[in-house]
Structure 1
Amino acid sequence: MLQRPLTSEYPEYYVPYVILVPEGDLLTILSEDLNNTIVLFKGISDEDGHFRYAPNKWSIKEVLGHMTDTERIMSYRLLRIGRGDQTALAGFNENDYVEGSQINNHSFKDILEDFIATRKATITLIKNMPTEAWGYKGNANNTEVTTRAIGYIIAGHAIHHKKIISKNYLVAKK
């Protein structure tokens, strides 16, 4: 079982994500989170996917698209660092990615399917990561991070955004 990362293994701004990850096997947590994500988003229509709980907030579609983009980027970082690549990896601006995706033009079903495919690929990557690679350190967004921490950041990031969806979007929509 993969050990929870120490706070020295990732930048402080990821603490809110990592602390959301429950105790247990990371692969099981990611698999269960995928099922929970499907349940949460399955009944949302294309029309409801455009809902924003406040001005200048992302739509539900944009939040799910952001979750997918971020998981892809973090999985790429996990792959690079987990393979021992010491190349400094660039950061990204999530607002630019949301705007550039034009995700509101896609069906909600397609956006959810994209997240599902991305999460399955993340699970496969983690499942096949060599044991010794979990302690590897690399540089992403001008900060040091371990492969292990990235796995937990991926899980916690999705949990974080699903809490926001449940609290601010789905409750406000009723």
Structure 2
Amino acid sequence: MLTAKEIDEQLSILQETGRKISECFSSFGSRMDFKPSPEKWSARQVLHHLTDSEIVLAYRLRTLLSENQPKLKAFNQNNWSATLAPEQEELPLMKSCFEANRNLTIRLLKKIPASLWEKKGVHEEAGEMRTYDLVVRNTSHCLRHLEQLQKLTEASQAVKL
């Protein structure tokens, strides 16, 4: 059984990573589309991916919480990025979408009973996952991309645009 401390820790990480990601929408300025190499993502692509991921998390959580042993579908981030044209998205709209989904997710997770943090579904790539595991997977994912965004900041500042 999960402790209140474990749950609160994940909620805190969700809030903190959400705040940091939101700040990134305005921190790149004219360097938003800088790519350190052709095969790497720009900050805009990373932020678009994080917005997509937030929408997917919101759907997966609602599915997991409301259905019995649901199947949680994976998605191909590279196909989404190649097909959904993140370079054409308006940053204020992406930021609003990310923030709204993150805030609704946090509200949802704060109001569910601790027992629902143990509820299980089956992710098509990761296998059996509890609500808690899905949140941990998301927070870890966000932390990795925040590190990627920091490296993009450093790389873009080292190049004269």
Please, what TM-score do these two structures have when normalized by structure 1?
0.78
- Spell out the pairing of 1:1-174 with structure 2 (5 A cutoff): 1=4, 3=6, 25-45=9-29, 47-142=30-125, 143-167=127-151, 169-174=152-157
* Change over 3 Å in CA distance of 1:51–1:165 after alignment to 2: same
Give the gaps of 5 or more residues in structure 1. 5-23
CA-CA distance at 1:161 after TM superposition: 0.1
Matched letter for residue 159 of structure 1: L
Matched letter for residue 123 of structure 1: I
Aligned mates of 2:111, 2:103 — CA distance in 1 = 12
| CA RMSD across the alignment | 1.9
How many correspondences in the alignment?
153
Matched letter for residue 114 of structure 1: C
Using CA pairs below 8 Å that are at least 6 residues apart, which structure has the higher relative contact order? 1
Matched letter for residue 49 of structure 1: M
In the alignment, is the contact (CA less than 8 A) between 1:134 and 1:148 conserved in 2? Answer: yes
Aligned mates of 1:90, 1:38 — CA distance in 2 = 26
SS in structure 2 opposite 1:133? Answer: helix
CA-CA distance at 1:114 after TM superposition: 2.1
SS in structure 1 opposite 2:53? Answer: helix
Aligned mates of 2:93, 2:18 — CA distance in 1 = 15
Greater shift after overlay, 155-164 or 85-94?
A: 85-94
CA-CA distance at 1:42 after TM superposition: 2.1
Runs of 4+ in 1 over 6 A off after TM superposition: none
In the alignment, is the contact (CA less than 8 A) between 1:61 and 1:103 conserved in 2? Answer: yes
Q: Percent identity?
A: 27
CA-CA distance at 1:2 after TM superposition: 5.3
* Change over 3 Å in CA distance of 1:138–1:2 after alignment to 2: farther
Matched letter for residue 120 of structure 1: N
Structure (1 or 2) with the greater helix fraction = 2
Summarize deviations over 1:127-156 as a string: whole Å, max 9, x none: 122221111111121511111101111111
Aligned mates of 1:2, 1:98 — CA distance in 2 = 36
Summarize deviations over 1:22-74 as a string: whole Å, max 9, x none: xx6222221122222233332222x4221111111112111011111112212
In the alignment, is the contact (CA less than 8 A) between 2:73 and 2:124 conserved in 1? Answer: yes
Aligned mates of 2:81, 2:111 — CA distance in 1 = 30
